Amino acid sequence: MVSGNQTTTPGFILSGFSNLTNRQGLLFMIFLTIYVMILLGNGVIVFVTVLDSALHTPMYFFLRNLSFVEICYTSVTLPKMLANCLAEDGSISFTSCAAQMYFFLLVGGTECFLLVAMAYDHCVAICNPLHYTLTMTRKVCVRMVAGSWLVNIPVHFGQTYLVFSLPFCGSHEINHFFCEIPPLLELSCVDTYRNKIVVFIVSLPFIITPFLYIVISYIKIARTILKMPSVQGRRKALSTCSSHLTVVALFYGSGMVVYLRPKSRDSMDTDKLLSLFYTIVIPMFNPFIYSLRNEEMKAALRKLVSRK
């Protein structure tokens, strides 16, 4: 953190929603309620898909891992937001900020690849149903989930190192509610053009490529569905894919706007709201999207409740 005559900064200030000074208590209650809903909703999906043997299929194996990732995703950012609402100072140490950014990128990148794995599972189930059990074996599913985590570990460590090796000077106030790359680059007192290029390059295999693979998978699925002679078969296939498509549209839509569009200081407030959307709102609604629109999940929940 030392560059020329620049001094070492002890940390940063997360401005968050400090402009709402008279509503910090209300924000605390809102964010706490959302956090509890995320933990309970996604925790129930993990719990039910483990206990019910009828849900021991590749589809629910990926869903279980996605719910676990959502819990990790929000746990990286929300506890600090809650603490800042109470303390109202927003301070975060240099090390904590770096750790928060790293784990946020790691979990976010893992979610991108898990969504690809789920798209692949749907594609095989609908387009090649006769080969489904041979293709989507337990071993293959475990490797896909493990790969989703492992491939992200070194890449995002490098991303975090590049950002936090920059000299920061002047204001140390981050116009955000957690340590994310775009607002941190705005605080650097050197040209961050190379860092922005690196962010774009990394986004290609970790955001754009997974998204394109999902699009290609659903084009194949759509062609197969249109060829189905049975209306009931088409409805069942569409029902299988609708929840996943909804999550993909919400997650990638907001994420691409934040990381791929040109940045300016005036766009930081917009990016902050979009980040709030994909870090909090989507994880909160995922359990409802997957359980309320899924008959097998609803049946498993009813069975569990009746046992209790």
User: Residue 274 pLDDT more than 90?
Assistant: no
Is the predicted pLDDT of residue 61 greater than 50, yes or no?
Answer: yes
Q: What is the mean pLDDT of the chain?
A: 85
Task: Choose the weakest-confidence range: 127-141, 201-215, 262-276.
Answer: 262-276
Q: Which of 2-11, 88-97, 154-163, 225-234 has the lowest mean pLDDT?
A: 2-11
131-181: pLDDT as tens digits: 999 999 999 999 999 999 999 999 999 999 999 988 887 678 888 888 988
Give the pLDDT of residue 262.
63
Contact between 110 and 69 (Cβ < 8 Å): yes
| 3-state per-residue secondary structure call for 227-259 | HCCCHHHHHHHHHHHHHHHHHHHHHHHHHHHHH
Q: CA-to-CA distance for 104 and 91, rounded, in angstroms?
A: 18
- Beta-carbon contacts of 278 under 8 Å, excluding residues fewer than 6 positions away, are 250, 251, 254, 255, 258
Q: Where are the alpha helices (DSSP H) in the chain?
A: 24-51, 58-87, 94-127, 132-135, 138-150, 152-164, 181-185, 193-203, 209-227, 231-260, 268-276, 282-292, 295-307
**Residue 88 in contact with residue 18, Cβ under 8 Å?**
yes
- Find the helix packing angle between 209-227 and 231-260, rounded to 10°: 160
The tally of CA atoms less than 13 A away on the side-chain side of residue 196 is: 16
Percent of the chain with pLDDT over 70: 90
**For residue 2, what pLDDT is reported?**
41
246 to each of 32, 241, 252, how far by Cα in Å?
Answer: 25, 9, 10
Distance CA 123, CA 218 (A): 7
The pLDDT of residue 5 is above 60: no
CB 32 within 8 A of CB 78: no
244 or 146: which leads in pLDDT: 146
| pLDDT score of 23 | 75
- Amino acid identity for residue 293 in this structure: R
Q: Tokens representing 268?
A: 């930081």
Domains defined along the chain, listed by start: 11-307 (1.20.1070.10)
Task: Check: CB of residue 127 under 8 Å from CB of residue 221.
Answer: yes
- Amino acid occupying residue 244: H
Relative to beta strand 11-14, strand 173-174 is: parallel
Q: Which residue has the higher pLDDT, 193 or 291?
A: 193
